[in-house]
Amino acid sequence: MAESMTDPAATRGAQRTATRSRGRAVWLFIRDIVVIFIVALLVSFLIKTFLIRSFYIPSASMEDTLMGGPGAPDNDRIIVNELEPKLLPVHRGDIVVFTDPGGWLTASENVPAAEPSNPVARGLSDFFTFIGLGTNDSDNHLVKRVIGLPGDHVVCCNALNQITVNGVPLKEPYTTVQPGEQAASKTFDVTVPPGKLWVLGDNRADSADSSQHQNLPSKGFVPESDVVGRAFVISWPISRWSWLSNYPDVFRGVAKNGS
């Protein structure tokens, strides 16, 4: 029986073809991974820009709703819905994050989250901030609760030490105010101008809020254009995970826009 012979040139050609196929497969795999990564980054960036964003704002002004402040063992991280007020209206009772209207922040009230000392951890922290899940860019932001909308007549306080909005007294279960105490650290009698908000901290005795900044050019009002969004959930620490309410029942009897 004649022994079959293999053509060496054909063998080498087949090997080269197989090598090229494997190389092409590897290149296509790498290309797909890079495309997926870039698309994921773009989607995350768009989510941060238009939908949600994470914040760390170390301030005792919102305790006990939000736990924080310099030296606090478990400062809350919050997730903010950026559609409000871009596409959705702000409501009374909303907890909003906003940029400093001018002169609200002092060095002691604007303590950023500690930067990781490890370069890898710091890089990951910066990456998560870029896609909206980190908090490195929280500086120059404040968090307070909306009490008055444009057109509202907001007063502190009535004979029962309650804040009134358009003449309706508020019973505020979210504050740290004790029975008999005034519902704000300073008195006020204001009508909220168009495009502005009147905001107070839940910890009224320790809150640099609208009532405390009536002497500034802003007169304590916050431009709606300065609002980044509405805080709707505590995301960290896990033990504090919870939804944040705007307590609609508190404001249910308040007429719209001072009418």
pLDDT in tens, 205-255: 999 999 999 999 999 999 999 999 999 999 888 888 999 999 999 999 897
Residues with active-site annotation = 61, 144
Q: How many CB atoms lie within 10 A of CB 237?
A: 13
pLDDT at 131 exceeding the cut of 60: no
Residue 80 pLDDT: 93
- CA-angle at 113, arms to 88 and 76, nearest 5°: 55
Q: Which CATH architecture describes the domain 52-258? A: Ribbon (2.10)
Residue 5 pLDDT: 54
Structure tokens at 86: 């871009």
Q: Work out the burial of residue 183: count CB atoms within 10 Å of its CB; fewer than 13 is exposed, 13-18 middle, 19 or more buried.
A: buried
Structure tokens at 181: 């105490």
Q: Work out the burial of residue 227: count CB atoms within 10 Å of its CB; fewer than 13 is exposed, 13-18 middle, 19 or more buried.
A: buried
The answer for residues whose C-beta is within 8 angstroms of residue 13's C-beta and 6 or more apart is none
- Mapped onto helix, strand or coil, the DSSP state of residue 18 is helix
pTM of the model: 0.73
Amino acid at 71: G
β-pair type (163-165, 153-156): antiparallel
Q: Where are the domains of the chain?
A: 18-50, 52-258
Higher pLDDT, 203 or 111: 203
- The residues facing 221 across adjacent strands are none
Contact assessment for residue 52 and residue 79, using Cβ atoms and an 8 Å cutoff:
yes
Query: Virtual CA dihedral for 183, 184, 186, 192, nearest 10 degrees?
Result: -110
Among 259, 143, 158, CA closest to 201: 143
Measured CA to CA, the distance from residue 213 to residue 230 in angstroms comes to 22
Measured CA to CA, the distance from residue 201 to residue 145 in angstroms comes to 6
Phi, psi of 108 (to 5 degrees): -75, -20
Measured CA to CA, the distance from residue 53 to residue 87 in angstroms comes to 16
- Token pair 């087949």 is at which residue? 14
Assign 60 a pLDDT band (cuts: 50, 70, 90).
confident
Residue 86 pLDDT: 84
